[in-house]
Amino acid sequence: MDDNILSGPNPADSCKIGPTSAQKRNQKAYKVRVRAALFQKDRPLPGHPCNDDEELYPKKIANFSKALPHNQLGEVKLKAYKTLIRALATGDPDVFETIPMGGAARLVNPQAAYAYDLAGPDSHHLSILPPPAFSSAGMAGDMAELYWQALTRDVPYADFGTNELTNAAAVDLSNFSVFCGPKVNGVVTPQTLFRGNAPGCQNGPYLSQFLLKDFPFGAKTVDQRYRTPVSGVDYMTAYDDWLGIENGSLPSTPGLYDTAPHYIRNGRDLGEYVRWDFPFQAVLTACLILLGFGEAVLAPCNPYLNSATQVGFATFGAPHILDFVARSARLALEAAWFQKWLMHRRLRPEEFGGRVHNLITGAADYPINKELLNSQAVAGAFSKYGTYLLPQAYPGGCPAHPSFPGGHSCFVGAGVTILKAFFRESFIIPNPVEASSDGLSLLPYTGGPLTVGGELNKLAANITLGRDAAGIHYRSDMRSLYLGERAAIGILQDYKKTYNERIAGFFVTKFDGTKVKI
């Protein structure tokens, strides 16, 4: 290959015009990168607290161990767990190859916990509050909600107000001393059931408009009907099946599906969506819908809104926003994977369900909070399935990486934050819809106005709690929304000084309702 193709012609022969010479541009580009790096480096180092369960329980009953070998109670064999810890403590790729495995399943990407990135905050520079402890009332509230989500998977969202099961769920969850879902006057209602806490999450239909409305995809328009599982089929409710999966066996039966595609209408459908989606799929869809609304939906900070001669493209146009949507997802996942593997190693709900089953049947003695053991949720699961295991929506249950924090929650939190920065949060979404009870059609939604900011918050909650509906995450795992939010804010901070356009900054309403300028 000609070296001149790689190095370019002599800078002195350049036809370049502009306010700086090639040499000055080169130096300024370097300084922009250095300033961004120094900004991240000089931020205070955060603490990384954990709930101390790993030290408290010698048998590691409160920690993730799926795919490692276990005894008959589903307790991990300590030699295998100690090897996992040695690999994580050293970061040595060769040690990871010595971890004893229980079957064909393999651990999902623990070495991502050590990755560095070149934009935004380092993954180890982002902190999060720890999850509830194994024996706590908070864990009891988390698990009770999951049992109810399993029992109500086939109830259409449109029927939550009238269905006997969803009304029973609301009453039961209201009785827990610690339940972090939204309430009305201190009580869980069918309207607040399985919803998020951020502004807008409790307004209108359960599902965000960004998971329902058609979206433009290049030269075609795509409707959001998806392949959905048949109703009434759950998995890992037989003890031997559960134990085999915990040991790393692959599921013996595939999922069963309806012949017709459906709009997402219930927890089973939503759980299936977040089983197969790629990391920024839902946010990409939302971005395409928003771009289709035209200039009126762009954030007031966009420098081209008032230009008589220019429009945005590579900067402050579709390519810019779409790039940041994807870019933020990977950085958020790195932050989540650091917390998952090097900090918390929280057991998955299916593992906790095994602890519940073995305690109630007398096979083992575990310090599980009695609020959960005495709940109607656990009794309902036993009545339906004959075990106290947590019914799973997927044949193989959860993926082989720890529960906390949620990966989906983290990357959707980042992507939604990016969209809030580039689009007008107060914009009213035109012609809102909701899915029919059978999921075969969309119906006009005639309630109050739905804003971009509220529906983006709702999208983040849907994607997060959809994983809960499948039985593979807890509500408290959605704390990682804030982790993703901080990752996205860090990207926006690093890039703010890279633009030639005059901008006052980005303005974002965070998930906790506070407004920030970036």
Q: Which pLDDT value is given to residue 323?
A: 97
Which tens digit of pLDDT belongs to each residue from 340-368? 999 999 999 999 999 999 999 999 999 99
State the Cα–Cα distance between residues 370 and 360, nearest whole angstrom. Answer: 11
> Bridge partners of 267?
none
- On the question of pLDDT at 2 being above 90, the answer is no
Residue 18 inside a domain? The answer is no
State the Cα–Cα distance between residues 290 and 214, nearest whole angstrom. Answer: 11
452 CB-side CA count, 13 A:
26
DSSP string, 327-359: HHHHHHHHHHHHIIIIII-BPPHHHHHHHHHHH
**pTM attached to this predicted model:** 0.95
Residue 372 inside a domain? The answer is yes
Token duo for residue 385: 């399935």
State the Cα–Cα distance between residues 188 and 492, nearest whole angstrom. Answer: 37
Phi and psi, residue 89, nearest 5°: -70, -35
CB 180 within 8 A of CB 476: yes
Which tens digit of pLDDT belongs to each residue from 189-236? 999 999 999 999 999 999 999 999 999 999 999 999 999 999 999 999
CB 219 within 8 A of CB 473: no
Residue 38 inside a domain? The answer is no
CB 87 within 8 A of CB 110: yes
Which of 70, 344, 401, 473 does the annotation list as catalytic?
A: 401
Q: What is the CATH number of the domain that holds 236?
A: 1.10.606.10
Quote the domain boundaries for residue 467. 43-517
CB 457 within 8 A of CB 199: yes
How many structural domains does the chain have? 1
- C-beta neighbour count of 503 within 10 angstroms: 13
Which of 70, 125, 344, 408 does the annotation list as catalytic?
A: 408
Total count of residues recorded for the chain: 518
> Catalytic residue at 408?
yes
Token duo for residue 75: 């307790």
Which tens digit of pLDDT belongs to each residue from 63-76? 999 999 999 999 99
Which tens digit of pLDDT belongs to each residue from 255-312? 899 999 999 999 999 999 999 999 999 999 999 999 999 999 999 999 999 899 999 9
CA 518 vs CA 27, 32, 422, 504: distances in Å: 25, 17, 12, 9
Residue 7 inside a domain? The answer is no
Which distant-in-sequence residues (6+ apart) come within 8 Å of 247 by Cβ? 67, 68, 69, 70, 102, 103
Which distant-in-sequence residues (6+ apart) come within 8 Å of 74 by Cβ? 242, 243, 246, 351, 354, 355, 358
State the Cα–Cα distance between residues 209 and 205, nearest whole angstrom. Answer: 8
Q: How confident is the model at residue 470 (pLDDT cuts 50, 70, 90)?
A: very high
Report the percentage of the chain scoring pLDDT > 90. Answer: 91
Indicate the SS3 state at residue 437. coil
Q: Which of 417, 402, 400 is nearest to 481 (CA)?
A: 417
CB 123 within 8 A of CB 46: no
Residue 78 inside a domain? The answer is yes
Q: Which pLDDT value is given to residue 149?
A: 98
The alpha-helical segments, DSSP class H, found in 42-77 are 53-56
State the Cα–Cα distance between residues 447 and 481, nearest whole angstrom. Answer: 28
Residue 32 inside a domain? The answer is no
Q: Which of 383, 390, 357 is nearest to 150 (CA)?
A: 390
Residue 1 inside a domain? The answer is no
- Identify the residue whose tokens are 């901080």: 486
Token duo for residue 213: 């409305």
- If 0-12 CB within 10 Å is exposed, 13-18 middle and 19+ buried, where does residue 362 land? exposed
Which tens digit of pLDDT belongs to each residue from 422-465? 999 999 999 999 999 999 999 999 999 999 999 999 999 999 99
> Catalytic residue at 48?
no
Indicate the SS3 state at residue 226. strand
Which tens digit of pLDDT belongs to each residue from 91-125? 999 999 999 999 999 999 999 999 999 999 999 99
Q: Which pLDDT value is given to residue 8?
A: 57
Angle between helix axes 376-385 and 137-151 (nearest 10 degrees) is: 40
Token duo for residue 232: 């009434």
Residue 31 inside a domain? The answer is no
Q: Which pLDDT value is given to residue 185?
A: 96
